[in-house]
Structure 1
């Protein structure tokens, strides 16, 4: 019985929004400002970046330390902390990266790191597509003329963009269609449907186990055959 109740609670939690994003405490996305088209080893560059919850809006609390982290294939890791700029959610940092192929991540304070893309030195930066179901809830526009890449004036969410940039491009415009402004990710609809089906299957069994005592203790009435007999006059 306890296992069944635990299963029911888990299903209801998923159906009400406890999917991957909620389990991780929410999602955030790091967008890079357009930068140099080519990176050379040992050369300093200043990179601007934005950290936005769900990729569309500001985190209302204390976000904490943000940074860009570069991890090379041989395991070497470099971290460059961001400095807040006047625009909300906007940061900048100076980086100097040796030669090699580097995984680029956004360190996002209270949120888990975000996989920005791959940097080849010497060479360029390739930006990963934004994960599906991330860009939600962008009704409010927080910015003026200086705004995150791909965010049109008067809109609180990025527009759908063309395919991912080539390795020689440093553009960081979002490369995945917008999941909707204030909409629900598709996976949540599937979870809610599955949860409803499980609840429907378990409901009769649970009712028999937890129904009120006045129903459990009431003896079943014997069948009165005469009450089911219909007399037909001759």
Structure 2
């Protein structure tokens, strides 16, 4: 029996490894910022455009999830500015109002792990982390262009027709319907992990149902091979059939009322 249980655990672990969504298996994305203001002052609003590109070279096709910019300051204070989807695939905008200080800037990328954009000093400027040239080289080598005149900074205009993809952007995922300058103080929550599975609100990921079904089937097989468990299940099923059998029909004649004309 111990050997059978060990096999059951091994099979479920193998199913779990193969059923986790791609985003949870190490997929990644990059946040690029549009041209920035020359200087940031404390307490003033600034509109910022940014791009979230899978593998750093193409828009994510499907349900991405919430995006935005997160600023983390001294003492761990965090400000989250939700992004609003723009017409271009993978393009978003937000407006920030930041107090004076030094802030770490991260791109919140929906189902992908946050991306370190750079360091913002207020008053002062935003020093961007260097972007890997290989991402743009891969975009050129792939030969698929997703944008017209408005495109990520540094991405050349490729010859040929523009490739249209379905990004399934929903207002509830992209943030508020209009750009807002009011930062949101995020509630305490576990840190974002790589590949958070894209799910419907309140739903259950499909791979958990697969694991449950596989576990039930293996437990049933174990019961058939282990006599004590098999007999216990048989007795339980017999009692359930007995409880489900209908009783004798009730005599309703005494409850019948006859009204004569």
Task: Tell me which interval the TM-score lies in, with the shorter structure as reference length.
Answer: 0.5 to 0.7
Q: Distance in 2 between matches of 1:25 and 1:61?
A: 17
- Alpha-carbon deviation of 1:130? 2.4
Q: Distance in 2 between matches of 1:32 and 1:151?
A: 12
| Residue of structure 2 in register with 1:151 after alignment | 155
Q: Distance in 1 between matches of 2:29 and 2:136?
A: 9
- Alpha-carbon deviation of 1:104? 0.2
Q: Distance in 2 between matches of 1:70 and 1:26?
A: 23
Query: After the TM superposition, which segments of 4 or more aligned residues of structure 1 sit over 6 Å from their partners?
Result: none
Q: Distance in 2 between matches of 1:56 and 1:136?
A: 9
Q: Distance in 1 between matches of 2:66 and 2:82?
A: 7
Show CA shifts across 1:135-172 (max 9, x none). 5742210000000000111179xxxxxxxxxxxxxxxx
Q: Distance in 1 between matches of 2:32 and 2:47?
A: 14
**2:136 and 2:155 in contact (8 A); partners too:** no
Structure with the higher fraction of residues in helix conformation: 2
Q: Identify if the C-alpha distance between structure 1 residues 22 and 64 changes in structure 2 by more than 3 Å, giving closer, same or farther.
A: closer
Give 5+ residue unaligned stretches, structure 2.
Answer: 1-21, 163-261
Say whether 1:38 aligns with 2:42.
no
- Alpha-carbon deviation of 1:26? 1.2
Calculate the TM-score normalised by the size of structure 2: 0.49
Q: Distance in 2 between matches of 1:22 and 1:65?
A: 14
Q: Distance in 2 between matches of 1:72 and 1:91?
A: 23
RMSD of the alignment, in Å? 2.8
Q: Distance in 1 between matches of 2:54 and 2:137?
A: 9
| Residue of structure 1 in register with 2:253 after alignment | none
Number of residue pairs matched by the alignment: 140
**1:54 and 1:135 in contact (8 A); partners too:** no
Give 5+ residue unaligned stretches, structure 1.
Answer: 1-20, 157-234
Q: Identify if the C-alpha distance between structure 1 residues 82 and 22 changes in structure 2 by more than 3 Å, giving closer, same or farther.
A: closer
Flag the structure with more relative contact order, 1 or 2, with Cα contacts below 8 A and sequence separation at least 6.
2
Say whether 1:85 aligns with 2:86.
yes
